[in-house]
A and B are shown apart, each in its own frame.
Chain A
């Protein structure tokens, strides 16, 4: 199975569901005294997965604003004057937010961005589904011919939920911030 096939709606929904179940399960576990807290491990995994997904989503759009502008225009939720600006800014916003999440630096701010992006995407996808418009998502690959369905909205809602978990998580491991905290002189 190629990466392109994995980055489609149903596998990503399955991944989101698995991560949510894992997180819910680890919440019921007591933090162990010696080793790593399972909840911390789960939230760290969620953070890194969300970050990588955002970076992957941005990768194909970064150098091709013209194509992405057409995709944004197709959603017909933004005024025409804002379409080029959105096409130029959104991929970089996804990229930097994804990078921050994956590396664990300013990850709560990045999680906010993830939540806002997913809320906006799921809203605009739902609007187009309700309009009865058959369209390409252009979410992960600009050349993808996968059509927008309810699964696409569900995928974004899963990501929104995962973003909220990262945002409200008490501790994270394997992050640049925790490394900096450790290196800081006391």
Chain B
């Protein structure tokens, strides 16, 4: 019985390339990974804005050390895709202990006027531009600003949203902590802060505290 031979493959003009699973290349890739990891860890160790690599479990609540770390907190970029009609609920930040407000949450609160915004940046930066109706309360000069701003925050159950330079800034957390110590029960932090608000093209204004 005649067997039907499959046609011979067409002669290739190009030899095949090297195998991706070459042991030497895999070893080099491991070295490259180890070198990058070691470099990154050492850089982080000596860099002024380095972060703590060890995540410490934080108790819920506000009485937690503020300088612990600025690392992994869910941040304002994440929002559920469903449309909401009420301001989105804030979730507690695992490291600072304060409820955080997303960009969308901050905008909703701004639109409805349901919260008082506190700008924890220095006065000069606040004067340059800030969220409309936000009060300037520079966290590093709390005692200077307190007599001016606190009389406007009589209702201690009113929602307060503190913000500053964004996720790498701790001024808003400092301010939230001090206000909590004074008995304000509904203090939240907008971690995305001024950079995120400005980037989103939301309303801004200039000048001093109204």
Contacts and interface: CB of A to CB of B under 8 A. Distances in A.
A64 B169 CA distance: 11
B145 interface: no
A63 B80 CA distance: 29
Given A88-B41, A106-B28, A132-B81, A65 B36 contact: no
Contacts of B78: 74, 133-136
Main secondary structure of the interface of B (DSSP, over half): loop
Given A66-B70, A70-B73, A84-B71, A93 B36 contact: yes
B36 A96 contact: yes
Nearest to B75: A70
A108 B22 CA distance: 10
A31 B14 CA distance: 8
Interface residues of A, number: 50
Main secondary structure of the interface of A (DSSP, over half): helix
Q: In the complex, which range does the number of interface residues on chain B fall in?
A: 35 or more
Contacts of A91: 40
B137 to A, nearest CB: 23
Contacts of A96: 32, 35-36, 39
Interface of A: 27, 30-31, 39, 63-67, 69-74, 80-81, 83-85, 87-93, 95-97, 100, 106, 108-110, 112-113, 132-136, 138, 143, 145, 164, 167-170
